[in-house]
Amino acid sequence: MENQDIKKAGLKITLPRVKILTLLEKHGGHLSAEDVYKILLDEGEEIGLATVYRVLTQFESAGLVVRQNFEGGQSVFEIDSGTHHDHLVCIKCGKVEEFLDATIEKRQEAIAKKFGFTIKDHALVIYGCCDKAECNLE
Amino acid sequence: MENQDIKKAGLKITLPRVKILTLLEKHGGHLSAEDVYKILLDEGEEIGLATVYRVLTQFESAGLVVRQNFEGGQSVFEIDSGTHHDHLVCIKCGKVEEFLDATIEKRQEAIAKKFGFTIKDHALVIYGCCDKAECNLE
DNA sequence: AATGATAATGAGAAGATTTCTCATTATCAC
DNA sequence: GTGATAATGAGAAATCTTCTCATTATCATT
Ligand SMILES: [Mn+2]
Ligand SMILES: [Mn+2]
Ligand SMILES: [Zn+2]
Ligand SMILES: [Zn+2]
């Protein structure tokens, strides 16, 4: 239940928070704050854009959602599944695929060690064209 | 010589373009448009911020510089060395290290193939703390 | 070297995304 | 239920970047 997750994060259970978290869970994908705001509007919810941004940031701090900074300006958010993964993004249609490659993850550790870095986070995004016909024209 | 690179890109050789390209070459690092603007100001050059943004974008299109989108809002630019590389970024002091790992590069191809993607580009950024004393407190 | 068509510049406006402020409202421990 | 406190929503504002347009510089051609 979303409510318990919100409570565990030390946040009060409010309608905007429940709606936003439920939406992210149902949608399952990668949504920008604007996306969330518009979908909620379509669903008849009167939740302010500032609240959407504020709540998404709080959820990120609480570990409920993960922020991804793909190219294109806007951050996108997804439910924190608990297991890290990286992304493939189609530059034509926006499709996003997720992957986790143990070899790549291990190599990163070796590289960090070599340079004396302690890894806190990383982001690997592969941009390309997916296999849909309309994404392969030229 | 910078001038030939600018000419080859189909751009007129102007003072702002020469100054910006020379600065990036001399500095060697990863500079934001604002960084470039301020350094040029300090050097007594009267180059507008809009021109800096415009020229950096043109240089990117021409393949003279590469844009990197690290976390933190601003894009940073570096001279296109001709050889792709990825980055380690210290979240404490901002230090940037570059690396190229053949294993990681190969695995990406395999992953893209598996998902039916044709890779156009990719970005791997490892965020962490570098080995400087002041970057390791806690 | 002067001319002129055209491209480039710089200042400020404007666009885009995100955060902040603050008066009002909702939550929840008591 | 009451009240202390947290959350919300609207709009202002901050931040980064692009656009507009009048002015200026470049450079191929004389
Ligand atoms: Mn994902
Ligand atoms: Mn680099
Ligand atoms: Zn596609
Ligand atoms: Zn450091």
What pLDDT score was predicted for residue B138? 65
* C-beta separation of B84 from A81 below 8 A: no
Residues from chain A that touch B97, judged by Cβ atoms under 8 A, are: 115, 117
A127 pLDDT tier (thresholds 50, 70, 90): very high
- Give the tens place of pLDDT for each residue, B82-126: 999 999 999 999 999 999 999 999 999 999 999 999 999 999 999
**Distance in angstroms (rounded) separating the CA atoms of residues B14 and B3:** 9
Q: Where in chain B is the domain with CATH 1.10.10.10?
A: 2-79
Altogether, the residues listed in chain A come to a count of 138
In eight-state DSSP terms, residue A83 is S
What pLDDT score was predicted for residue B47? 97
What pLDDT score was predicted for residue B2? 78
Interface of B with A (CB under 8 A): 69, 71, 88, 90-91, 97, 99, 101, 103-104, 107-108, 111-112, 114-131, 136
Q: Where in chain B is the domain with CATH 3.30.1490.190?
A: 86-135
Distance A78 CA to ligand 1 centre (A): 6
pTM of structure: 0.92
A107 contacts B103? CB cut-off 8 A: yes
Options 3.40.190.10, 2.60.40.10, 3.30.1490.190, 3.30.360.10; CATH of A86-135: 3.30.1490.190
What pLDDT score was predicted for residue A137? 63
What pLDDT score was predicted for residue A90? 95
Q: Which of residues 64-103 of B touch strand D (CB under 7 A)?
A: 73-75
Distance B110 CA to ligand 4 centre (A): 33
Q: Tokens 């990120």: give the residue.
A: A60
- Give the tens place of pLDDT for each residue, A72-102: 889 999 999 999 999 999 999 999 999 999 9
**Distance in angstroms (rounded) separating the CA atoms of residues B62 and B94:** 28
The letter for the amino acid at B87 is H
**Nearest Cα to Cα of residue B78 among B27, B3, B15, B135:** B27
* C-beta separation of A131 from B127 below 8 A: no
**Nearest Cα to Cα of residue A94 among A57, A130, A42, A59:** A130
Residues from chain A that touch B115, judged by Cβ atoms under 8 A, are: 88, 97, 99, 130-131
Q: Which chain C positions have some atom within 7 A of a protein CB?
A: 7-13, 16-21, 26-28
Distance A97 CA to ligand 1 centre (A): 7
Structural class in CATH, domain B2-79 = mainly alpha
